[in-house]
Structure 1
């Protein structure tokens, strides 16, 4: 089987499968209506038909169930049912492609074009590649007569890009009802991968993820003819508030339980080019039960490396949506905006609400407006309203990362090093975004947000995710298939329960 995965025949076949998967236009929109009423959901029928046609062995030999119409749940029963199952996840949907950006793509976004090294298109790296890697590995194991001891479960949502309420939000309770609390040995979903850090190749599976809150701001002010304008329209006031929010970012803050602190320790111990200044600051905190003062100094220094590193230790804020006004000669009576926040480890959604409320109060007082902050008040004129979005989420529980005994993290790490070599440093990683695992916390403590496919030359990080020219290395994708096939077998042999 392993020789076949490395063959040109498998490469041609997997390119064809991944390309065809990208060509099914499974876009998720924030304003999707009810399943069965909003026809935009119906493309999921097409994608599930594609999967059934592409993997007939899986669909004929394993237990297939559909949850909330489109959610796909697959069970491969093990011979030793007392062992906790392995759960592998991915999602079938993608973010939309804005029509005005299509001409900016090197290859059309729904073409699945293969250029000899990469497959291009929306969903190629987020995350139809991971979904296919899971199914291809299981299909190959079935074909080669492998029978698992430990049950293998596969759970594929269909609206992760809008927070997962209809997909994972129904799949997780379905699994919980069948298996119960803490019933799974491990969960692997999409997430962090590989990077070159400080002269070393590092693999950083996400063992936690930041929280999430979308703050909606609504400003209601009098309208009227624009030839006799107010000193400040609702749009002007909203602009002032957004600028005030952007001018007051959160500071980097590194608490002991942030996985990035563990990554810094690994880098200091094993990476040849780890900065001396960081090393000296790190030594101040190493070995202390509480080291927040030294950690803050460390956070300020580490944040200088890149915005990506900074936001591993800092609550982010981004004004992403704004709307208001209906006519060029009429002052707007209602203006709204959404500010997306990803909450730092050690912080809370309440701290975000407190800060936004404080800033909004300054603008309300300046313009003689009433502030209603997260109180569900009915909208009225001359007011600012702050509301929390539907998918508010606290930072995730931390997955155990000890390797002194055989843990799920040790099995994952060992599988990485077995495939890619012992020079690869495996260190705990942090997701700045959120995956469908947000619904699965009660099923196991051992949750990994991890993209196991690595090119080596091109890196394992996804290319063009959520933007123009999304693409994925075929070599990385094939390595993902190798990793999943090996991980399933390694979990089968691991005594974790």
Structure 2
């Protein structure tokens, strides 16, 4: 027994030594000694131009035939009036009438171009929620330090800030050595086939291979992440895949006074409940780069766990899964989003259909998720249909690559208070349309926001802090300069 206790004590001591050594050897991935970015003088008219853009209701609808595309044309004409130097000196090409591709030719054609992305379409305001807005969603009203309106965050602020940056640089006489491309889609909110898809396909046919490309995605989260006291600039280096399934159950119908033991609605509800009660397994591998970059910035206890994920991964995952945002980074998510059944209160529905949206974790596949759904439901009477526009998770861009370090340096020069961390974007962006063109695909919106403001995207009271906008313009101007 004494020998066993000694052996156990030796094992515990060895474990403590390993844990301590791994923790002490943790490197910091944060760049230091970064000079502040040059100032970009910005007149009040810049915010007024953004407000004017918000007032144009460029709403995407799922059925494109129902989309008011006249507003897209109106938006393009507004940009021409707002940014005369851009339209006079850059080449503009249109795709499917409303996708806008600007080319700012560089002085050295041997250099790979830089591709900056954005989209100017917005999601609708849900009927019945208009009263929840402090200010009308398409009025572009500035109040209480914010600019309110649909698109102030997603994604007109990014589009207008890029154009402001280029307009400013043109006014200074700056000429890029490396060609700068600006690609603005008009249907990102409906999966981007007509805008980004068409532009990406044409660039691919031309053999364009950008040094890097940047789209919306992560942002500077001012309330940080648990354990980190500073803002965190989250840079997407990949994004989850996208899949929507329709589940349909069919019954006999008939009068509601004589229902069968199980109706089509009941059978469908049972299938949906099974999916919610059996989530996809959690994995930490998609968060490894994020944890690497945060490890040196968290308190000792968390640092110990992050440095020894081989032992503490279950504990880390349990903590992350405590929030909806954290849970989404750990697994393929399952979200029932629509139900359709029945036509009259006293008539049994024949067909009952549920729409389920999945966001696929890196390493999962569309075929694999469909197989797992069939296994979980375990009901051959439920028909499963894959809706169009499914996509696999995007490739992971290496944060050790020079373009990421350049982006990292730019962020630190504009947001010196922030910690930079790569992560996997849980939503879908236009960037996935361009993923085949470059190994360096990043997703970052240079805006400072807390969790409450982030949740206003696609919700009520979407708003941009007015103080954010000059730094957004400064960021894009600095990035263009730094990329040369």
Deviation per residue, 1:247-266 (Å, 9 max, x gap): 111232112xx2x2222122
Deviation per residue, 1:314-367 (Å, 9 max, x gap): 111110011111122221111111111111122222232122101222xx3xxx
Aligned position for 1:425: 419
Deviation per residue, 1:155-198 (Å, 9 max, x gap): 01111111111111111011112234xx1101010010122232
Aligned position for 1:495: none
- Segments of 5+ residues of structure 2 without an aligned counterpart are 1-36
Following TM superposition, by how much is the alpha carbon of 1:461 offset from its aligned partner in structure 2, in angstroms? 6.3
Spell out structure 1 runs of 4+ moving beyond 4 A.
458-461
SS in 1 for 2:404: helix
Aligned position for 1:234: 264
1:309 is aligned, of 314, 321, 326, to 326
Aligned position for 1:487: 479
Aligned position for 1:248: 278
* Matches for 1:304-453 after TM superposition, within 5 Å: 304=321, 306-361=323-378, 364=379, 371=380, 383-402=381-400, 407-421=402-416, 423-453=417-447
Task: Sort the Cα spacing of 1:203 and 1:461 in 2 relative to 1 into closer, same or farther, 3 A.
Answer: farther
Aligned position for 1:377: none
The separation in 2 between residues aligned to 1:265 and 1:5, in whole angstroms, is 33
Q: How many residues align?
A: 444
1:224 is aligned, of 254, 274, 278, to 254
Following TM superposition, by how much is the alpha carbon of 1:79 offset from its aligned partner in structure 2, in angstroms? 0.4
RMSD: 2.0
Task: Sort the Cα spacing of 1:299 and 1:394 in 2 relative to 1 into closer, same or farther, 3 A.
Answer: farther
Aligned position for 2:64: 32
Following TM superposition, by how much is the alpha carbon of 1:424 offset from its aligned partner in structure 2, in angstroms? 2.7
Deviation per residue, 1:133-176 (Å, 9 max, x gap): 11100011011111110000000111111111111111101111
Aligned position for 2:231: 201
Aligned position for 1:466: 458
The separation in 2 between residues aligned to 1:426 and 1:280, in whole angstroms, is 20
Task: Sort the Cα spacing of 1:109 and 1:74 in 2 relative to 1 into closer, same or farther, 3 A.
Answer: same
The separation in 1 between residues aligned to 2:454 and 2:167, in whole angstroms, is 24
SS in 1 for 2:68: helix
Deviation per residue, 1:398-425 (Å, 9 max, x gap): 111116xxx100110111111222x532
Contact 1:463-1:471 within 8 A present in 2 as well: no
Contact 1:313-1:345 within 8 A present in 2 as well: no
Following TM superposition, by how much is the alpha carbon of 1:29 offset from its aligned partner in structure 2, in angstroms? 1.3
The separation in 1 between residues aligned to 2:70 and 2:261, in whole angstroms, is 48
SS in 2 for 1:396: coil
Aligned position for 2:294: 267
SS in 2 for 1:24: coil
Task: Sort the Cα spacing of 1:242 and 1:385 in 2 relative to 1 into closer, same or farther, 3 A.
Answer: same
SS in 2 for 1:415: helix
Following TM superposition, by how much is the alpha carbon of 1:201 offset from its aligned partner in structure 2, in angstroms? 2.5
Following TM superposition, by how much is the alpha carbon of 1:6 offset from its aligned partner in structure 2, in angstroms? 4.4
Contact 2:59-2:123 within 8 A present in 1 as well: yes
The separation in 1 between residues aligned to 2:67 and 2:471, in whole angstroms, is 37
Contact 2:251-2:350 within 8 A present in 1 as well: yes
Aligned position for 1:281: 305
The separation in 1 between residues aligned to 2:157 and 2:38, in whole angstroms, is 21
- Segments of 5+ residues of structure 1 without an aligned counterpart are 286-290, 365-370, 372-382, 493-497
TM-score of the two chains, using structure 1 as the length reference: 0.85
Contact 2:453-2:462 within 8 A present in 1 as well: no
Task: Sort the Cα spacing of 1:459 and 1:329 in 2 relative to 1 into closer, same or farther, 3 A.
Answer: closer
Contact 1:109-1:121 within 8 A present in 2 as well: yes
TM-score of the two chains, using structure 2 as the length reference: 0.87
